[in-house]
Amino acid sequence: MIEVKNLSKQFMVPTDKKGLFGKKKEPFWAVDSLDFSASKGSVVSILGPNGCGKTTTLRMIAAMLTPSRGTAFIDTLDVRKHKQKIKSKIGYMTNNTSLYDRLNVIETITFFAELNQIPKDIYKERAQKLFDQLDMNDYLLKRISDLSTGMKQKTSIVRTLIHDPDLIILDEPTTGVDVTGQSVIVDLIKSIKESGKTLIFSTHQLNEVRDIADHIIVMKAGKKVFDGDNQQFQNLDNDKSFTEIFMEMVDD
């Protein structure tokens, strides 16, 4: 269960005005008063144009950034107060593969499993299942630097899931991935959904949202402009496509 209440984040951003030590900075609300809730086992998709605050929202839910105002609760745990506990419940995948180039696949997965203090026999069995599912067995001893983007993405998925998190957060998981890679990720999201885990992902790919998401949140300039399910989204205008509705919603 995720409960987001008045979640807001302010950054100081440079302006065009020059100050004594470079450009002057002024406050900017990257996320402004965001509210939503998601039940256990649901798939939530956060949509919006670049710079609308999707990544900042996900980082706050993952207890990586502290909200400037408001908060979020993950299974009743406040992200402001229980950062470490929340992080152990979450599997967070960044919007690039972000893996250690000089480690091989096995070493990478072992590192993240041991960091999450998972017993060896458990993480080995779990990893093997994921390797089989993602067809990775021929690449396990290859260094990350020698892998294709798709294989890096798969490794990143395994490392996100290795500690069997309750909540999975994927920040633009299909960005920069070819069609095959995208299909792997979509399949994986579906299998996560089937397993009953909660998943939040941000994306630009509206067809993914239409196919997978139970719950859609559209953001524009840090604020929520839509919160509802697939049907509610389509019902906004039945004569228009999903993309057209979205474009109208975020268009200036």
**Contact set with another protein (CB under 8 A):** 59, 62, 64-66, 84-85, 87-88, 90, 92, 94, 96-103, 107, 111-112, 114-117, 159
The least distance separating another protein from the CB of residue 123, rounded to whole angstroms, comes to 12
The least distance separating another protein from the CB of residue 96, rounded to whole angstroms, comes to 5
Residue 144 sits at φ, ψ, to 5 deg, of -55, -40
Task: Tell which residue, 195, 186, 187, has the closest CA to residue 167.
Answer: 195
User: By C-beta, is 5 or 85 nearer to another protein?
Assistant: 85
User: By C-beta, is 172 or 233 nearer to another protein?
Assistant: 172
The least distance separating another protein from the CB of residue 162, rounded to whole angstroms, comes to 10
The alpha helices in 23-119, defined as continuous H runs, are: 54-61, 83-89, 105-115
Query: What's the CA angle centered on 95, arms 90 and 101, to 5 degrees?
Result: 95
The least distance separating another protein from the CB of residue 62, rounded to whole angstroms, comes to 6
User: By C-beta, is 25 or 210 nearer to another protein?
Assistant: 25
- 120-133 helix and 149-161 helix, angle to the nearest 10 degrees: 140
User: By C-beta, is 100 or 235 nearer to another protein?
Assistant: 100
Residue 189 sits at φ, ψ, to 5 deg, of -60, -40
